[in-house]
Amino acid sequence: MLHQIERALRNRLRYRYVQPRVVREQDGYRVESPCCSRNVEPHGGVIDIAWLARDMNDMWRLHARDHEASRWVEQCASLDLPMLLDLLCVDAARVFWP
């Protein structure tokens, strides 16, 4: 799964000039990236972008980081991981890549 997520991120539409990193965590995968827009981290530090977790029913849940509230907010759930990765990589509403 880690490599599948990393491959998908190579084709994202926003902030293609930074290198996001996928971190395996106990209950899923967290995507972090340098903050180029300076909207969240004024000094361009690394911020959380997305969290993907699979539940007991094999449903994948895609979360975006609410940086102001310091919490994860579920955006979508699906059995289809590639579909969720497409949402993350396109991010037309700038939910994931602020």
Q: Mean pLDDT for each consecutive 10-residue tract of the chain (98 residues)? A: 94 86 94 79 82 96 94 97 96 89
> If you search the block for the tokens 């180029």, which residue do you land on?
36
Three-class secondary structure of residue 74 per DSSP = strand
Give pLDDT, residue 38.
67
Give the DSSP H or E segment for 89: helix 81-90
What is residue 45's predicted lDDT score, i.e. its pLDDT?
82
Q: How far is CA 73 from CA 5, 16, 43, in A?
A: 19, 24, 24
pLDDT at residue 48, as a whole number: 93
